[in-house]
């Protein structure tokens, strides 16, 4: 017997008798005998809790080192209260709130999530979450194609390469044409060139800011270029905390904001589960993918929340749905809601300031050790060391420091660049040590 399966042999006999079956095997009579597995599954033998924890400990390895890695996954402060709250099993063992009368906790949380995400992105409506930033951007492109009935996209070369790959996968059979808008030498999208690529047949213009090299795009100009055309401006992002300081998608005139929310209180966890964020204007709301929670009242007139506008969704519209998404990333959205509540208005300003200040400090120090991208940045930046990047990163790793993401082959910095990220988690001593090691290579 196993601790997760309560049935004793007596229980089994009693239940079988009530059913009128002689054996458990009889219950599987509808599975034709030749299709039944005549042996045990060849999976490892069971382990007890203690042995299992030892194996898990060995696989997990030590707690992580000092992390200067960004590139779509960020090492940020997570207030201790979040995990204590997330472990309330009424929260994490529930499912999609189809029965609002016993799911008000989940529903009110998602309503608060939608509100705070909309405010962070300066958009009118946010959904209940997508899987991650990459799929959110891909779904944004599909949505823009549906709305405009056009299929040409202008895609900034500063889009995260994994997002671009996912976008290609999602649009491969839809007839979409993706035209790259190249980066200028400073690491930002060449806006003049981008403007020439956008015309009346464009379904969407996809620009990420901060972009994959960390550069802050002039998104207000992108908004102006798209204005008055049928095309939707899809503002992609990997680092939502940047919007504590820099122009958010809505202020830049974006129609769709789509990106990653992992920075909002969610552990790195080797890249997943993250949190896809997706927000639109009121006008396009009904073409949006994903779940939405709305405020309403109960039979006694008391405020209540429920899933709404579900006629867009697959369980009603089937092949005509706005997306096939069903389960999204509810628990990650819950963690983000807790994060945004704890960090608050002042905390967001300070986190943004800390990230930018610390990154600027490291940038100024590294100017003597290589070439730093000249574009304005938030908390990460591409730079080319004087020494081979692989050797620099290896020397940092030897000192217990994850020094950043190797940018081999990513234009305009080629072959020997590093993407380094500095968050509020890193101390001045750790930054100075970083510089010292880079100098010593």
Partner 1 sequence: MSKSYGPCDVPGARGIALCEPTLFERSTPGRMGCSLPESGSGFRVPGSGDPQSALPPELRRTSPAGWPELSEVEVVRHFVRLSQYNYGVDSGLYPLGSCTMKYNPKLGEDAARLPGFGGAHPAAPHAGLLRLIGELSRDLAEIAGMDAVTCQPAAGAHGELTGMLLVRAYHEARGDNRTTVLIPDTAHGTNPASAAICNYQVRAIASGPDGILTPEAVAAAMDESVAAIMITNPNTLGLFETHIEQIAKIVHDKGALLYMDGANLNALLGVARPGDFGVDLLHFNLHKTFATPHGGGGPGSGPVGVKKHLAPFLPAPLVVADGAGWRLDEDRPQSIGRVRSWFGNVGMLVRAWTFIRELGPAGLRQASEMAVLNANYLRARLQDLYAVAYDRPCMHEIVFSDKNLPNGVTTMELAKRLIDYGFHPPTVYFPLVVHGAIMVEPTESFEPEALEGFIAAMRAIYAEAADNPDLVKHAPHNSFVKKVDEVAAARKPRLTADM
Within 192-211, the residues that bind partner 1 by CB under 8 A are: none
Q: Are 295 and 112 in contact (CB under 8 A)?
A: no
Q: Residue 95 or 199: which CB sits closer to partner 1?
A: 95
| Binding span for partner 1 by CB under 8 A among 41-49, 148-156, 227-235, 380-388 | 41-49
Of 76, 63, 64, residue with least CA distance to 358: 76
> Does residue 398 interact with partner 1 by CB under 8 A?
no
Count CA atoms within 13 Å of residue 248 on its CB side: 18
According to CB under 8 A, which one of 146, 229, 365, 433 is a site residue for partner 1? 365
In the list 193, 195, 268, 395, the residue contacting partner 1 (rule: CB under 8 A) is 268
**By CB under 8 A, is residue 287 in contact with partner 1?**
no
Q: Of the two residues 55 and 199, which places its CB atom closer to partner 1 in the complex?
A: 55
- The Cα–Cα gap between 95 and 93 comes to 7
Q: Decide: is 269 part of the binding site for partner 1 (CB under 8 A).
A: yes
Tokens read off for 10: 């007596």
Kindly state the helix (H) or strand (E) to which residue 90 belongs, with its residue range. Answer: helix 89-92
Q: Which residues pair with 276 in a beta bridge?
A: 130, 260
* Min CB(200)–partner 1 separation in Å: 24
Bridge partner residues of 420 (DSSP): 381
69 binds partner 1 (CB under 8 A): yes
- The DSSP letter of residue 34 is G
| Residue 370 C-beta: closest distance to partner 1, Å | 15
Binding residue (CB under 8 A) for partner 1 from 201, 283, 324, 408: 324
CB of 441 to partner 1, least distance (A): 19
Question: Between residues 41 and 398, which has the closer beta carbon with respect to partner 1?
Answer: 41
* Interface with partner 1 (CB under 8 A), residue from 9, 228, 297, 398: 297
- Burial class (CB within 10 angstroms; exposed 0-12, middle 13-18, buried 19+) of 161: middle
Q: How far is the CB of 208 from partner 1 (least distance, A)?
A: 13
* By CB under 8 A, residue 92 contacts partner 1: yes
Binding mask 227-266 for partner 1 (x = CB under 8 A): ----------------xxxxxx--x--------x------
In sequence order, the 6+-apart residues with CB closer than 8 A to the CB of 215 are 158, 186, 187, 188, 209, 373, 375, 376, 377, 381, 382
* Two structure tokens written together for 258: 């789509």
Q: Using CB under 8 A, which of 22, 83, 192, 200 touches partner 1?
A: 83
Residue from the set 261, 330, 382, 385 that interacts with partner 1 by CB under 8 A? 330
3-state secondary structure of 82: helix
d(CA 341, CA 364): 34
Closest to partner 1 by CB, 60 vs 398, is 60
Q: Residues binding partner 1: what is the number (CB under 8 A)?
A: 206
Alpha-carbon distance of 338 to 186, in angstroms, equals: 37
Q: Is 166 in the site for partner 1 (CB under 8 A)?
A: yes
> Binding segment for partner 1 among 82-90, 189-197, 198-206, 382-390 (CB under 8 A)?
82-90
Say which DSSP state 216 is in.
P
Spatial separation of the C-alpha atoms in residues 125 and 283, rounded to whole Å: 10
Shortest approach of partner 1 to residue 163 CB, angstroms? 7
Q: Applying CB under 8 A, does 90 fall inside the site for partner 1? A: yes
- Is 177 one of the binding residues for partner 1 (CB under 8 A)? no
Distance CA 383, CA 416 (A): 9
DSSP string for residues in 166-211: HHHHHHTTTT-EEEEE-B-TTSSB-HHHHHHH--TTEEEEEEESS-
Q: Let me know: does 230 contact 202? Beta carbons within 8 Å.
A: yes
Nearest distance in Å: CB 268, partner 1: 5
59 binds partner 1, rule: CB under 8 A: yes
Both tokens assigned to 389: 């990047």
CB-wise, 349 or 386, nearer to partner 1?
A: 349
To the nearest whole angstrom, how small is the minimum distance from the Cβ of residue 41 to partner 1?
4
| Contacts to partner 1 from residues 401-420, by CB under 8 A | 402, 405
According to DSSP, the residues that pair with 135 across neighbouring strands are none
Minimum CB distance to partner 1 smaller for 148 or for 355:
355
The binder of partner 1 chosen from 61, 149, 228, 398 (CB under 8 A): 61
Binding segment toward partner 1, per CB under 8 A, in 67-75, 194-202, 229-237, 380-388: 67-75
User: CA distances (Å), 166 to each of 170, 198, 324, 328, 332, in order?
Assistant: 6, 22, 16, 17, 21
The answer to whether residue 143 forms part of the interface with partner 1 (CB under 8 A) is no
Work out whether 394 is an interface residue with partner 1 (CB under 8 A). Answer: no
The partner residues of 371 in beta bridges, in order of sequence, read 384
CA dist 77 and 265 (Å) reads 7
Q: Smallest distance, Å, CB 181 to partner 1? A: 19
């Amino acid at each position: 017997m196993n601790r997760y399966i309560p049935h004793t042999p007596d229980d089994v006999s009693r239940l079988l008798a009530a059913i009128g079956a002689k054996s458990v095997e009889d219950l599987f009579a509808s599975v034709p005998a030749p299709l039944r597995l005549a042996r045990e599954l060849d999976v490892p033998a069971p382990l007890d809790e203690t042995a299992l924890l030892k194996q898990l400990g060995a696989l997990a390895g030590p707690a992580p080192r000092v992390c200067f890695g960004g590139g779509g996954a960020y090492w940020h402060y997570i207030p201790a209260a979040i995990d204590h709250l997330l472990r309330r099993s009424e929260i994490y063992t529930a499912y999609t709130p189809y029965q609002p009368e016993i799911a008000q906790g989940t529903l009110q949380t998602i309503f608060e999530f939608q509100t705070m995400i909309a405010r962070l992105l300066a958009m009118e409506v946010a959904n209940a979450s997508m899987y991650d930033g990459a799929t959110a951007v891909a779904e944004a492109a599909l949505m823009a194609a549906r709305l405009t009935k056009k299929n040409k996209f202008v895609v900034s070369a500063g889009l995260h390469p994994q997002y671009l790959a996912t976008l290609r996968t999602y649009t491969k059979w839809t007839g979409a044409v993706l035209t790259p808008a190249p980066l200028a030498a400073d690491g930002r999208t060449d806006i003049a060139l981008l403007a020439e690529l956008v015309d009346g047949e464009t379904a969407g213009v996809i620009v990420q800011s901060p972009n994959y090299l960390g550069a802050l795009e002039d998104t207000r100009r992108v908004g102006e270029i798209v204005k008055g055309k049928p095309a939707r401006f899809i503002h992609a992002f990997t680092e939502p905390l940047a919007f504590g300081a820099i122009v958010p998608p809505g202020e830049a005139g974006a129609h769709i904001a789509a990106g990653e929310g992992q920075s909002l209180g969610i552990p790195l966890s080797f890249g997943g589960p993250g949190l896809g964020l997706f927000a639109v204007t009121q006008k396009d709301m009904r073409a949006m993918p994903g779940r939405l929670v709305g405020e309403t009242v109960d039979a006694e007139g008391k405020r209540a929340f429920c899933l709404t506008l579900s006629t867009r969704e697959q369980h009603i519209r089937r092949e005509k749905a706005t997306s096939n998404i069903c389960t999204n990333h509810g628990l990650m959205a819950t963690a983000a809601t807790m994060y945004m509540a704890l960090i608050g208005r002042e905390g967001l300003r300070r986190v943004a300031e800390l990230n930018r200040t610390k990154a600027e400090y490291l940038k100024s120090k590294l100017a003597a050790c290589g070439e730093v991208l000249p574009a304005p940045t938030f908390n990460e930046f591409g730079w080319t060391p004087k020494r081979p990047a692989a050797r620099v990163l290896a020397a940092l790793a030897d000192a217990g420091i994850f020094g950043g993401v190797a940018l081999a082959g990513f234009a305009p910095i080629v072959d020997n660049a590093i993407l380094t990220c500095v968050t509020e988690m890193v101390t001045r001593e750790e930054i100075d040590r970083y510089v010292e090691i880079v100098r010593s290579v």
